[in-house]
Amino acid sequence: MPTEVALLESRALRGEQMGRVDVLDKVKSLVMLPDGIHVRTEDVAHYFEVSTEAVKKVTQRHRAEVEENGLILLRGAELRVFHRDMLSLWEERRESYPQAATQLTLYTRRTVLNIAMLLRDSDIARCVRTYLLDAEESLRTQYASLDQRVTRIESCLTGVGSALQELGPVLVRMSERLDSLDRKVEMTHQVVGAMSLRLTDVQQDVVRLDGRMDAFAGQLKDLRRRDGQR
């Protein structure tokens, strides 16, 4: 399990924790600007209960890393546009918005979490790091338990594999018998079909015989009539 010192010293380890921004609010409420995305340097300092200079020093010392994790510096037109957007949002709060004169450094939650893993002289930052490490240890324990369960399942599957191997020949024989039964059923269908055709022919013969019998009966009636007239 990584230690707090390792987290302070290793950028790679910090990178593994950058998705855990939820930890910030679990340790202490982080007050965002009205856009709900950014905070200023003084807001970060207030969160960690340190001076703005302490935050600025950490930011400068690890500039590339914190910029990769959301730090931005606004100047000129970008700063004016940001101030205009913030002013409209702050007016909705009925508060006065403090504007930076020439430039403004902004942090995201991800950047603040990055600072928490770099700032040594802050009890709040230490709490964030402890929370991260404890959460990681809990995850490791869960993974270990899951690994054991997977191992047990694999053992069961080994037994199932052996049973399936023994069942294989039986399934083959059953398949062959089913194929034979299918062939017999098909032959039966053919016989039934032939019998159906034959019965149709017999029916036609009966119909013709009925016609001939009717004609013969008519002839007998005619003969009797003639004999009676004589």
CA distance linking residue 68 with residue 18, whole number of Å: 11
CA distance linking residue 165 with residue 177, whole number of Å: 19
**Residue 230: both structure tokens together:** 């004589």
pLDDT tens digit at each of 230 positions of the chain: 568 888 889 999 999 999 999 999 999 999 999 889 999 999 999 999 999 999 999 999 999 999 999 999 999 999 989 888 887 777 655 555 666 678 999 999 999 999 999 999 999 999 999 999 987 665 455 544 555 665 666 666 666 666 667 777 777 788 788 887 778 878 877 777 777 777 677 677 777 777 778 777 777 777 777 777 66
CA distance linking residue 112 with residue 176, whole number of Å: 70
* SS3 (DSSP) at 70: coil
Q: Is residue 15 exposed (0-12), middle (13-18) or buried (19+ Cβ within 10 Å)?
A: middle
Is the pTM higher than 0.85? no
List, in sequence order, every beta strand (DSSP E) within 79-224: 103-107
* SS3 (DSSP) at 57: helix
104 φ, ψ to 5°?
Answer: -145, 125
Judge contact between 55 and 45, C-beta under 8 A. Answer: yes
106 φ, ψ to 5°?
Answer: -120, 140
